Amino acid sequence: MRDLPQSRRMREIAQESALFGRRSFQEHANQATRSLVGMVLDYFSHTEYRPNPYQVEKDRFVFFGLIRCREWMVIPAGIIIQFCYGSVYAWSIFNAPINSSLEPNPSRGGAEITFYIALGVLGFTGAIFGPWIESSHPRKSGTIGMLVFYSGHLTTALALFVQRMSLLYFGYGFVAGFGLGIGYVSTIEAVSKWWPKARGAAAGCAVMGFGGGSLAFSYINKLLLQHTNLPATFFILGSVNFVVMMFCLQFIAPPPPGHNLDGIPMVNGKDRVRLRGEDCEAEDGKQTTNIHSLAASLPAVKMPLAEALRSRDFWLLYIAFMSNIVFCLVVLSNLPSMISRLFGTESKAAKEPPIPAYIAVSIEGGFNMFGRVMVGLLSDNIGRKATFLILLLSQIIILIFLPITVNNGSFWGFLVLVWIATICYGGGFGMIPAFLSDMFGINNMSSCHGIILTGWSIASICGGLAFTSSVNAHIKHGGKPYDTRIYFINFMWMLILVIIGFICCLFVRSSIRDRLFPALPGQIMRMRIFGRVFRVLWTFDSARRDESECASASPTENSRVCLRLGKSNRHLHFEYLDKEEEQIEWEEYLMLRAVQNRLLQEPNN
pLDDT tens, residue by residue, 552-572: 444 444 455 555 555 556 677
> Which tens digits make up the pLDDT trace of 137-153?
999 999 999 999 999 99
Q: Which residue has the higher pLDDT, 596 or 54?
A: 54
> DSSP for 267-302?
S-TTPPPEETTEE---TTSS---HHHHHHHTPPPB-
Would you list the DSSP string of 473-506?
HHHHTT--TT-SHHHHHHHHHHHHHHHHHHHHHH
The pLDDT value recorded for residue 513 is 79
Question: 445 with 128: CB under 8 angstroms?
Answer: no
Task: Choose among 508, 445, 368, 486: nearest CA to 188.
Answer: 445
The pLDDT score that the predictor gives to residue 155 is: 96
From CA 449, how far away is CA 189, in angstroms rounded? 9
User: Is pLDDT above 80 for 534?
Assistant: yes
Examine the domain organization and report whether 375 and 338 are in the same domain. Answer: yes
Residues 354, 338 share a domain = yes
How large is the average pLDDT for residues 364-392?
88
Distance CA 138, CA 289 (A): 44
Contact criterion met (CB below 8 Å) for 309 and 451: yes
Q: Stretch 181-204: mean pLDDT, rounded?
A: 89
Domain assignment present for 53: no
**Mean pLDDT computed over 496-521:** 86
**106 pLDDT tier (thresholds 50, 70, 90):** low
Q: Of 495, 513, 531, which residue is a domain's last?
A: 513
What is the model's pLDDT at position 499? 95
Residues in a beta bridge with 59: none
Evaluate whether residue 492 is within a structural domain. Answer: yes
Q: Is there a single domain that holds both residue 398 and residue 475? A: yes
- Cβ neighbours of residue 583 under 8 Å, at least 6 residues apart? 274
Residues 171-193 as b or e (16 or more Cβ within 10 Å = b): bbbbbbbbbbbbbbbbbbbbbbb
Q: Is 422 within the bounds of a domain?
A: yes
**Per-residue confidence (pLDDT) for residue 521, from 0 to 100:** 79
The per-residue pLDDT for 151 is 96
Question: Do residues 545 and 478 share a domain?
Answer: no
Distance CA 533, CA 601 (A): 33
Domain boundary among 454, 478, 513: 513
Positive or negative: CA dihedral 60, 61, 67, 69: negative
Task: Quote the CA–CA distance of 149 and 171 in Å, as a whole number.
Answer: 9
The closest alpha carbon to 220, from 240, 246, 244, belongs to 240
| Same domain, residue pair 416 and 488 | yes
Which of 103, 570, 507, 88 is closest to 316 using CA atoms? Answer: 507
Percent residues over pLDDT 90 in the chain: 24
Residue 344: the pLDDT is 76
Same domain, 468 and 577: no
Task: Name the nearest CA neighbour of 501 among 386, 383, 388.
Answer: 388
Residues 379, 403: one domain?
Answer: yes
Is residue 461 within 8 Å of 533, Cβ to Cβ?
no
Per the domain annotation, does 417 fall within a domain? yes
Which pLDDT belongs to residue 552?
41
Please tell me the distance from the alpha carbon of residue 415 to that of residue 342, in angstroms, as a whole number: 12
- Residue 52 pLDDT more than 80? yes
Mean pLDDT rounded to a whole number for the chain:
80
Between residues 335 and 174, the one the model is more confident about: 174
For residue 278, the model assigns a pLDDT of: 47
User: From its phi and psi, is residue 500 left (phi > 0), alpha (psi between -120 and 50) or beta?
Assistant: alpha
- Nearest CA to 573 out of 522, 501, 531 is that of 522
Report whether pLDDT(541) > 60.
no
Same domain, 485 and 588: no
pLDDT of res. 393: 95
Q: Are the CB atoms for 292 and 281 separated by under 8 Å?
A: yes
pLDDT of residue 243: 96
Q: What angle do CA 363, 378, 263 make, to 5 degrees?
A: 125
For 202-217, the pLDDT digits (tens) are: 888 888 888 788 778 8
Quick check: 142 and 249 in contact, CB under 8 A?
A: yes
User: Among 490, 513, 536, where does a domain finish?
Assistant: 513
Residue 397 has pLDDT above 90, yes or no: yes
Q: CA neighbours within 13 Å on the CB side: how many for 366?
A: 8
**Shared domain check, 197 and 143:** yes
220 and 167, same domain (yes or no): yes
CB 374 within 8 A of CB 426: no
User: Is the separation of the CB atoms in 570 and 261 below 8 Å?
Assistant: no
- Summarize the confidence of residues 108-130 as an average pLDDT: 84
Q: pLDDT class for 287, splitting at 50, 70, 90?
A: very low
Is pLDDT of 369 > 60? yes
Query: How many structural domains compose the chain?
Result: 2
Residue 535: domain span = 517-601
Mean pLDDT for 183-192 is 90
Four-CA torsion 127, 128, 130, 131, nearest 10 degrees: 140
pLDDT of residue 14: 62
Asked if the structure places residue 28 within a domain, the reply is: no
Q: Helix and strand tally (H, E) in the chain?
A: 23, 8
Q: CATH number of the domain at 194, please.
A: 1.20.1250.20
Q: Where is average pLDDT lowest: 140-144, 152-156, 463-467?
A: 463-467
% of residues, the chain, pLDDT over 70: 80
Q: What is the DSSP string of 59-81?
A: TTEETTTTEE--GGGHHHHHHHH
183 falls within a domain: yes
Same domain membership, residue 561 and residue 495: no
- Give this prediction's pTM: 0.78
446-474: average pLDDT: 83
Average pLDDT over every residue of 580-587: 79
- Tell me the range of 115-119, 181-185, 197-201, 347-351 where mean pLDDT is highest: 181-185
Give CA–CA dist 454/99, Å, rounded. Answer: 28
335 and 384 share one domain: yes
Specify if 3 maps to a domain: no
Residue 51 lies in a domain: no
